[in-house]
Amino acid sequence: MAIAENVHAPLQPIRIGLAGAESRLVPVAEALEGAALQRGLALRLRRFQVGDPRRPGAVADLIAQARAAGFDTLHCTAPLLGELSEMIHDSVPDGDRARLYDTIFLNHRQPLQGCDAGTWALHSALGSFLAGRPAEHVLILGAGPEGQSAAIALAARGVRRLTFHDPDMSRAASLANLMQECAEMRCTLLASTEGLFHARSAPGVTRGWIDGIVHAPGSNMAPQEISDLAPPLWLVDMAAFAPPTALSNRARAAGCAVLEGAEIALRRGARLLDCCAERSHEGCGLGWLHLDPGTTAPGTTARSAARRSG
């Protein structure tokens, strides 16, 4: 589906610009359209593009394009999240620099204002997905902005231990340190996923060492080849849109529960419309004040929860 302008009503539409990878934008656009029709809101969408979205200054160029076209909001997906978040942080020197942003409200010049509909959507989807499933220790594949989004959402859901794998080990270490400092989580690093669940893996690295996997690959990550997946292990594949990834197909064929990016994107679009209609970012991001240290992870026994707090 090509993203083009859509006008559902002639008067004062909510104007949302979209930028980023098309596979991630299409389900967000479809969710926005559906939510707007359901609520009777006028909506206008347009995709904005730059030659190389990874070059420095790409987000600033996109913002200039959207403002010149008269749009109220610009919503970004990977690979633009890191630069957008840094831009908003730089305009608010005393703000929470651990917070992510995927949306900027263009009617605010300084300080810049935005929201994080993506992390909110993932947190919302995890509520039902993790119900009745163990989720005390999770492996996150990828330590870029989407990996950070996953870490924040998992922490807000009560997960207390994370292991990070990324080809850039310094980036993985930075995210692990961030989560340890801000969310008081136990974090470790994994150098390689080779033989992850092999029967002869190193002590402690066996099939039962983690409860679930979040696949949040950055642009520097090759497709993940993980074999021997089996229930009750679960997978959240933030890169699975249309078509699904080989990893999500493999996990589903093995009988593992799978939450794909396409489903998360539907919640993301609906939340984005709420933020734009209300012109508010409050409650859309999951800042550290939203993390409840007493929250018990799904599937965590009372004994293990007490041991963590002791």
For residues 100 and 228, membership in a common domain is answered with: no
Per the domain annotation, does 8 fall within a domain?
A: no
Per the domain annotation, does 299 fall within a domain?
A: no
For residues 207 and 247, membership in a common domain is answered with: yes
Residue 133: which domain range?
119-264
Closest alpha carbon to 224 in 240, 209, 201, 200? 240
Q: What is the pLDDT of residues 142-165, one digit of tens each?
A: 999 999 999 999 999 999 999 999
Distance of alpha carbon 183 from the chain centroid: 17
Per the domain annotation, does 5 fall within a domain?
A: no
Whether the predicted pLDDT of 202 surpasses 60: no
For residues 232 and 136, membership in a common domain is answered with: yes
Query: Can you give the pLDDT at residue 97?
Result: 73
Q: What is the pLDDT of residues 206-261, one digit of tens each?
A: 445 899 999 998 766 766 778 788 899 999 999 888 788 899 999 999 999 999 99
Other CB atoms within 10 A of residue 274 CB: 17
Per the domain annotation, does 301 fall within a domain?
A: no
Per the domain annotation, does 286 fall within a domain?
A: yes
Query: Can you give the pLDDT at residue 5?
Result: 58
Q: How many domains does the chain have?
A: 2
Cα 40 to Cα 19, 29, 105, 116, 202, distances in angstroms: 25, 16, 22, 24, 57
For residues 79 and 147, membership in a common domain is answered with: no
For residues 260 and 272, membership in a common domain is answered with: no
For residues 108 and 151, membership in a common domain is answered with: no
| Average pLDDT score, the chain | 82
Q: What is the pLDDT of residues 44-97, one digit of tens each?
A: 999 999 888 889 999 999 999 999 999 999 999 988 999 999 999 888 877 777
Closest alpha carbon to 130 in 264, 258, 283, 270? 258
CATH number at residue 68: 3.40.50.10860
